[in-house]
Amino acid sequence: MDGTICADIFGRVRSVRPLVHHITNSVTINDCANITIAAGAAPVMAAAPEEAAEMVTFAGALVLNIGTLSTAQVESMLLAGRRANELGVPVVLDPVGAGATAMRTAAVLRILDEVDVAVLKGNAGEIGVLAGAGGKVRGVDSCGIAGDAVETAAACARAVGTVVSMTGETDVVTDGNRVLIVENGDGMMDRLSGTGCMASSVTGAFAAVESDYLLSSAAALAAFGLAGERAARAARGPYSFRTALFDELYSLTPEDLAAGARVRAPHGL
């Protein structure tokens, strides 16, 4: 994938500044809001069932994250998700900890059944569980998958009928037929709580301006990963890395992304 495609999508995020509506993880909610701003979009966090569907009417994308799950939150997600579908607003679902408990897995499956999800963004363990490929999750952390990452992600995409964005040492983005591998990122991103949630927020910002969700998701992960690479150069540890991550994404330009994005199709595909 040519880096100029990533740069074009990123440029549109910066020029349009879409509103990204979040119903998300209370542990990382502030980081999700600020990374959305750093990417060039505008965040709103509106989880109350009394306003969740109404807020979607103003949004360019809806991000649903089950990191701190409750029954009431799922109901708000369903209300907002159904309204987003009516309006043609893309929905990004982050199935945090799917497979760790029966409640989490059931919640994700219910959302996938009742809402047309544009992008399912999860780690390898979560996607492996949803693909029926033996994914393992401990708490909200991935313990990996038994099979091939590309095949697992593609199988999940075909099973749920959506773009799957599977993050890991390298990221796999697929709609079940097309596949893109994103090689941007740094190991420090695994040393900080919330980077997966933040990646979902950036994915939502990019989906708001590009309806080919395979391309928008790959471009979002490339931008976020490139910011992570740059942040790691100056970081002394996880918390200085956190600060640098926001700064580097904020200062990243479309031209930087055109030059630095490492997105490719797997050999033979």
Kindly list the structural domains of the chain, giving each domain's residue range(s) and its CATH number in brackets, ordered by start.
3-264 (3.40.1190.20)
Q: What is the pLDDT of residues 45-81, one digit of tens each?
A: 999 999 999 999 999 999 999 999 999 999 999 999 9
The pTM of the full predicted model, rounded to 2 decimals, is 0.93
Residue-level pLDDT at 40: 98
Task: Return the ∠ at Cα 225 (arms to 116 and 109), rounded to 5°.
Answer: 25
**pLDDT(172) > 80:** yes
Question: For residue 80, how many other CB atoms are within 10 A of its CB?
Answer: 28
Residue-level pLDDT at 144: 52
Closest listed residue to residue 89, CA positions, set 65, 120, 57: 57
User: Alpha-carbon distance 3 to 226, whole Å?
Assistant: 12
Do the beta carbons of residue 230 and residue 151 sit within 8 Å? no
Q: What is the pLDDT of residues 86-99, one digit of tens each?
A: 999 999 999 998 98
Which of 127-141, 172-186, 207-221, 233-247 is least confident?
127-141
Average pLDDT of span 202-231:
98
Do the beta carbons of residue 240 and residue 234 sit within 8 Å? yes
Average pLDDT of span 1-26:
97
| Beta-strand runs (E) in the chain | 19-23, 42-45, 61-65, 91-94, 119-123, 137-138, 141-142, 163-167, 171-174, 179-182, 263-264
**pLDDT(133) > 70:** no
Closest listed residue to residue 217, CA positions, set 171, 149, 258: 171
User: Alpha-carbon distance 120 to 113, whole Å?
Assistant: 13
Q: How sure is the predictor about 100, in pLDDT bands with cuts at 50, 70 and 90?
A: confident
